[in-house]
Amino acid sequence: MAASTTFYSEQSANRRNSILLVLLVCLFLGVLGGAIGYALTGSRAGALAAILIAVVVGGLSAVGSYFVGDKLVLAASSAKPVSEEQAPQLYNVIRELTIAAGIPMPAVYIIQDNAMNAFATGRDPQHSSVAITTGLLNVMNREELQGVLGHELSHVRNFDIRFSLLVGVLVGGVALLSSFFLRYTFWFGGGRRSNNNDNGGGGALQLIVFVIAIILAILAPIFTRLVQLAVSRQREYLADASSVELTRNPHGLESALAKLAGDTTVMKEANPATQHLYFHNPLMKLGASEGSLFSTHPPLVARINRLRQLTGEAPLPPSEASSIGAAS
Partner 1 sequence: MSATLIILIVVIVVVVGFVILTYNGLVQRRLRVDEAFSQISVQLKRRWDLIPNLVNAVKGYMDFEKDVLTKVTDARANAVAAGAQGPAAQAQAENALTGTLRSLFAVVENYPTLKANENVLSLQEQLTTTENQIGFARQHYNATVLDFNTGIATFPAALLAGPLGFTKREFFEAEPEAQAVPQVNLG
Which residues are part of the catalytic machinery?
152
Q: Does 95 bind partner 1 (CB under 8 A)?
A: yes
Closest to partner 1 by CB, 142 or 193: 142
Q: Does 87 bind partner 1 (CB under 8 A)?
A: no
Contact track, partner 1, 248-267, x by CB under 8 A? x-------------------
Instruction: Pick from 81, 88, 291, 312 the residue near partner 1 by CB under 8 A.
Output: 88
**Could you tell me the smallest distance in angstroms from the CB atom of residue 104 to partner 1?**
13
Piece in contact with partner 1 (CB under 8 A), picked from 75-83, 99-107, 273-281, 291-299 = 99-107
Closest to partner 1 by CB, 151 or 233: 151
**Could you tell me the smallest distance in angstroms from the CB atom of residue 74 to partner 1?**
26
Instruction: Pick from 68, 102, 187, 189 the residue near partner 1 by CB under 8 A.
Output: 102
Q: Does 313 bind partner 1 (CB under 8 A)?
A: no
Closest to partner 1 by CB, 101 or 327: 101
Residue type, 6: T
**Could you tell me the smallest distance in angstroms from the CB atom of residue 88 to partner 1?**
7
What is the SS3 string spanning the chain?
CCCCCCHHHHHHHHHHHHHHHHHHHHHHHHHHHHHHHHHHHCCHHHHHHHHHHHHHHHHHHHHHHHHHHHHHHHHHCCEEECCCCCCHHHHHHHHHHHHHHCCCCCEEEEECCCCCCEEEECCCHHHCEEEEEHHHHHHCCHHHHHHHHHHHHHHHHCCHHHHHHHHHHHHHHHHHHHHHHHHHHHHCCCCCCCCCCCCCCHHHHHHHHHHHHHHHHHHHHHHHHHHHHHHHHHHHHHHHHHHHHHHCCHHHHHHHHHHHHCCCCCCCCCCCCCHHHECCCCCCCCCCCCCCCCCCCCCHHHHHHHHHHHCCCCCCCHHHHHHHHCCC
How many residues bind partner 1, per CB under 8 A? Answer: 13
**Could you tell me the smallest distance in angstroms from the CB atom of residue 97 to partner 1?**
8
Q: Does 198 bind partner 1 (CB under 8 A)?
A: no
Closest to partner 1 by CB, 174 or 256: 256
Q: Does 44 bind partner 1 (CB under 8 A)?
A: no
Residues making contact with partner 1 (CB under 8 A): 88-89, 92-93, 95-97, 99-102, 246, 248
